[in-house]
């Protein structure tokens, strides 16, 4: 792929402006999930090992171009320092004299954290003047925030074009995993797409059927595809007005030689709550007063058979209402099958999206997947076949 990594740049004695995603959840002023902070450690360590000075650029929450004290990155200094095992120097601005002074005063091995880039109105408008002010602070630009790469912002796109640029370790791992999954994958390729609504994933489905050999559709969106085939789904969540769209995606898949897999049996219940009485029925036998809340065991077996014959798996979205037992059974079983095949070296497995990560963690399968993306919107836009501005900028 045509982008530089940290291994391609001479960083000795250089100030390295490093775009990261540390937009972490907070509770009572304390970071409640350190995942995103911990994930930047390899990039920070690599830059320091190569003799560079790390200057972190990041956004936090949505201040919409105004200074909002509650959204200051200063609140993250202690958490960053603890994770990195280094002193973190905070600058109360991301440009100008305040930032320059903090950078100049930082000692060897110390990390500089600049203030929330979104405090500047020009950040989200990709203002070239703001990018130039940022560029004046450093010698090299590194983007380690794939999760923000779908945004053409000053710190993710314009800045990358003003300095020698490279992908950080996390960005590099993400791009290599995605290239392996859809760019030049080992075939056959199977994609699992679940979730509630077809309407939110039309572009995703339309792109995938041209790229993969098998498409497994689960969750509420599977009900819409069933309705499109004339199958009654009772009180189930279904976008009946999207039936023709579902049929069009099916036609596109047939033209492209992609097999679409829908449930053949389902788990139904009359109440959507933990411990609700449920039954497995054939897909054409959903009672009118019940709703489909999960895929059934025959469907899971057929999905596992598709996995067993595949070389590459891309997963986005659960197969059922996994948040509530027993409607997590299909997702758990399929996830464990994919994890086992990956562990055995038979499958390259890449997954992403908020619900997906939660579902795979719940199933105890996430650690065995080849790669789990925490990027959310950027991961989805990549699956839709869209160009990501933050990645395109690294390619010059």
Which residue in 197, 235, 284, 386 is the catalytic one? Answer: 197
- Taking only Cα atoms into account, the Rg of the chain, rounded to an integer number of angstroms, comes to 23
Which residue in 36, 120, 201, 211 is the catalytic one? Answer: 36
Contact yes or no for 98/91 (Cβ under 8 A):
yes
CA distance 88 to 81: 6
Residue 119 — φ and ψ, nearest 5°?
-70, -15
Round to the nearest angstrom and report the end-to-end CA distance of the chain: 12
Task: Tell me, yes or no, if 161 is annotated catalytic.
Answer: no
Residue 386 — φ and ψ, nearest 5°?
-85, 150
CA distance 54 to 43: 9
Cβ atoms within 10 A of the Cβ of 18, count?
26
Torsion of CA 226, 227, 229, 230, to 10 degrees: 130
CA distance 269 to 385: 37
Joined tokens for residue 354: 């908020």
Task: Tell me, yes or no, if 354 is annotated catalytic.
Answer: yes
CA 80 to chain centre: 22
Residue 372, SS3?
A: strand
Residue with tokens 């990018």: 131
Task: Tell me, yes or no, if 273 is annotated catalytic.
Answer: no
Joined tokens for residue 265: 């049996």
Task: Tell me, yes or no, if 36 is annotated catalytic.
Answer: yes
| Strands 265-269 vs 291-295: parallel, antiparallel or unpaired | antiparallel
Which residue in 96, 109, 354, 364 is the catalytic one? Answer: 354
Torsion of CA 62, 64, 69, 72, to 10 degrees: 50
Strand 265-269: give its sheet, edge to edge: 278-282, 265-269, 291-295
* Plot region of 61 (φ>0 → left; ψ -120 to 50 → alpha; else → beta): left
Joined tokens for residue 182: 């859809």
Question: Annotated catalytic sites, by residue?
Answer: 36, 197, 354, 377
């Amino acid at each position: 792929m045509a982008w530089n990594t940290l291994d391609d740049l001479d960083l000795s004695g250089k100030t390295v402006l490093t775009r990261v995603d540390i937009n972490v959840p907070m509770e009572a002023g304390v970071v409640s999930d350190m995942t995103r902070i911990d994930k930047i450690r390899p990039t920070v360590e690599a830059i320091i090992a190569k003799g560079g000075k790390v200057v972190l650029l990041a956004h936090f929450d949505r201040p919409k171009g105004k200074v909002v004290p509650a959204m200051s990155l200063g609140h993250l200094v202690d958490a960053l320092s603890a994770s990195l095992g280094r002193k973190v120097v905070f600058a109360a601005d991301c440009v100008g004299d305040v930032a320059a002074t903090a950078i100049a005063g930082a000692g060897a091995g110390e990390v500089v954290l600049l203030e929330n880039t979104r405090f500047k109105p020009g950040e989200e408008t990709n203002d070239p003047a703001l990018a130039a002010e940022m560029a004046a602070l450093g010698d090299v630009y590194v983007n380690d925030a794939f999760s923000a790469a779908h945004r053409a912002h000053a710190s993710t796109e314009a800045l990358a074009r003003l300095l020698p640029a490279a992908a950080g370790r996390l960005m590099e791992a993400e791009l290599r995993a995605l290239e392996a999954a859809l760019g030049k994958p080992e075939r056959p390729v199977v994609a699992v797409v679940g979730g509630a609504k077809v309407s939110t994933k039309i572009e995703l489905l339309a792109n995938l059927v041209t790229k993969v050999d098998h498409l497994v559709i689960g969750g509420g969106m599977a009900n819409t595809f069933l309705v499109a085939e004339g199958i009654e789904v009772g009180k189930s969540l279904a976008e009946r007005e999207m039936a023709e769209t579902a049929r069009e995606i099916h036609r596109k898949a047939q033209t492209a030689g992609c097999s679409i897999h829908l449930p053949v049996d389902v788990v139904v219940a009359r109440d959507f709550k933990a411990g609700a009485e449920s039954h497995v029925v054939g897909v054409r036998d959903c009672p009118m007063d019940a709703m489909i809340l999960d895929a059934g065991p025959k469907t899971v077996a057929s999905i596992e058979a598709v996995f067993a014959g595949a070389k590459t798996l891309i997963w986005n979205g659960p197969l059922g209402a996994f948040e509530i037992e027993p409607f997590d059974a299909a997702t758990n079983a399929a996830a464990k099958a994919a994890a086992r095949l990956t562990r055995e070296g038979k499958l390259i497995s890449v997954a992403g999206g908020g619900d997906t990560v939660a579902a795979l963690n719940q199933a105890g399968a996430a650690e065995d997947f080849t790669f789990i993306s925490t990027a959310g919107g950027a991961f989805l836009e990549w699956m839709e076949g869209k160009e990501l501005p933050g990645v395109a900028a690294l390619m010059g």
